[in-house]
Amino acid sequence: MPSTQPDLLPETRRALRHRLARAQVSARAPSVAAAVVRDGRPVWLEGWGAVDGATPGGEVQYRIGSITKTFVTLLVLRLRDEGRLALTDRLDEHLPVSAAGDATVGSLLAHTSGLAAEPPGPWWERSPGTLRPELADVLHDEPRVHPPGERFHYSNPGFALLGALVERLRGRPWADALASEVLEPLGLTRTGLRPAAPHARGWAVHPWADVLLPEPAQSYGPMGPAGELWSTVDDLSRLAAFLIDGDERVLRPESLAEMRSPSAAPEAGQWKAEYGLGTQLLRRGDRLLSGHTGSVPGFLATVWVSPTDGVGAVAVANTTAGLPISGFTADLLEIVADREPRIPEPWQPLAEVEPAVLELAGPWYWGPAPFALHPRADGRLELSSLAGSDRGTDLHRSGDGTWVGRNGYFAGERLQVHRDASGAVTHLDLGTFVFTRQPYAPAGVVPGGVEPGGWRAGR
């Protein structure tokens, strides 16, 4: 079916250009390039400033810093989905390490392992990786600054360990695994460890004068999985499209959704920002964005997506500081999502439905609270509250044919359909919550029973 979304309106494109130009000028960044993705493709891409005397386009490489962590996360989750590891596994079950071996794989992905934020020694992003040639060199003698699981604490060495884990289980460098398992299927032909022309040079801009200082572009050695990749606006746009719509050649839809589920509480007073698995989460009003930011000397980058809106935005710049690129990129996304909201696909009836599933459709009551159960075209059951409570959930079939909640209060809870001797449905049990066809139906299925006199007028 052709897209129901036309190209952007002229006034939307002008608003995007205006926001881009203001960002580049106010930050005094040598160059900024950005794109907005909708319906799986860039609908706007533009650069401001110059790289080697020319306005940067979508093919110019920039270093993307910690967006590298999202790529590494895809590799780890692929291993999990193959059954090679579990997120609850200790690291030393798979990788011989002398320190932090008791950290679980999941805690490293979520930055809840308690490991220090940075490796020992000089500023690792401005010093050669040869200063830390071995994996053990990225950890302090006392590697933890917090007890495991106590809080979110961003850790670059944690992702160095995850990259080494991928190498151990795949038997080849993590970047080689990334190229064949992720970059090639998604068509990211200009993403990798080393830049190739055309590429931007990294600069620091003097805070009080309009002059520049070149930043070194180091190879990071074992710290590479924390932030070494280079990429382009074209390639990051393809990444954004993947983060919105998925691609089962790379990752199961369930695992992609897991990446953007909060894994730990944020800092007190910062409830607008959270972290999933290798993915940052940002709340802007009622909109929840997911993606990642990147920052290394000389470069800034961000990818944000809103799957609900079907829109993503990416931006790169070759400056060390001064550009609030995370908020700027979110602004680009919201300009499109707010000015040109997603047009729903046409409603279509179910191609087929099992009689036993259709029998569950309609109103149900938890006590006096009304709910509705809808079979949906994508094979799920949608339980929604008709009174505005937060107890709804999407139910998906599990391997044994039963239904399991995927989100909200009932995430992970199993739905049991109870029938009488004739086979007719009597009630539903979802995590001990009993749903009946009438409010407090006069039957023995309601926990605690129902007053024999039933409903009455007055008090």
The string of pLDDT tens digits covering residues 109-136 is 999 999 999 999 999 999 999 999 999 9
CATH number, domain at 362? 2.40.128
Give the residue-averaged pLDDT of 375-404. 89
Burial of 119 (0-12, 13-18, 19+ CB in 10 A): buried
Query: Do 398 and 250 share a structural domain?
Result: no
Half-sphere exposure of 74 (CA within 13 A, CB side): 27
* Confidence at residue 1, expressed as pLDDT on a 0 to 100 scale: 29
Q: What is the DSSP string of 15-51?
A: HHHHHHHHHHHHHT-SEEEEEEEETTEEEEEEEEE-B
Question: Range with the lowest mean pLDDT among 285-294, 326-335, 439-448?
Answer: 439-448
| Residue 391 confidence (pLDDT) | 86
pLDDT tens digits for 192-211?
999 999 999 999 999 999 99
Asked if residue 452 is part of any domain, the answer here is no
180 in the same domain as 116: yes
363 with 334, same domain: the answer is no
Average pLDDT over residues 160-183: 98
pLDDT at 297 over 90: yes
Segment 341-360 shows an average pLDDT of: 89
Return the pLDDT at 292. 98
Classify burial at 108, counting beta carbons within 10 Å of its beta carbon; exposed 0-12, middle 13-18, buried 19 or more.
buried
Quick one: 232 and 376 in the same domain? Answer: no
Q: Are 191 and 229 in contact (CB under 8 A)?
A: yes
Does the residue 242 lie in any domain? yes
Q: What is the pLDDT of residue 131?
A: 94
Q: Say which range, 16-25, 143-152, 226-235, has the weakest mean pLDDT.
A: 143-152
Counting residues of the chain whose pLDDT is more than 90, the rounded percentage is 84
The CATH number linked to 249 is 3.40.710.10
User: Are both 299 and 431 inside the same structural domain?
Assistant: no
b/e per residue 161-186 (b: at least 16 CB within 10 A): bbbbbbbebbeeebbebbbebbbeeb
Tell whether 135 and 161 lie within a shared domain: yes
- With respect to residue 380, please indicate whether it lies within any of the assigned structural domains: yes
Residue 374 is part of which domain span?
A: 355-435
Domain contains 447: no
294 and 400, same domain (yes or no): no
Residue 307 tokens read as 């799957």
267 and 378 fall within a common domain: no
Bond before 375 cis per omega within 30 degrees: no
Does 4 reside within a domain?
no
Does residue 380 share a domain with residue 327?
no
| Spatial distance between the Cα atoms of 200 and 53, rounded to a whole number of angstroms | 11
Residue 3 has pLDDT above 60, yes or no: no
The mean pLDDT value of the chain amounts to 94
Residue 322's pLDDT is what? 96
At 268 the pLDDT is 67
Residue 440 located in a structural domain: no
Given a cut of 90, is residue 340 above it in pLDDT? Answer: yes
| β-pair partners for 428 | 417, 435
375 and 285 in one domain?
Answer: no
Kindly tell me if the per-residue pLDDT of 378 is higher than 90: no
- Supply φ then ψ for residue 77, to 5 degrees: -70, -30
| Structure tokens, 282 | 């940002």
Average pLDDT of span 45-50: 98
Number of structural domains the chain divides into:
2
Query: Stretch 24-36: mean pLDDT, rounded?
Result: 98
- Indicate if the pLDDT at residue 357 is higher than 80: yes
Give mean pLDDT, residues 216-240.
97
Give the whole-angstrom CA distance, residue 187 versus residue 308. Answer: 24
Q: What per-residue confidence (pLDDT) applies to 316?
A: 98
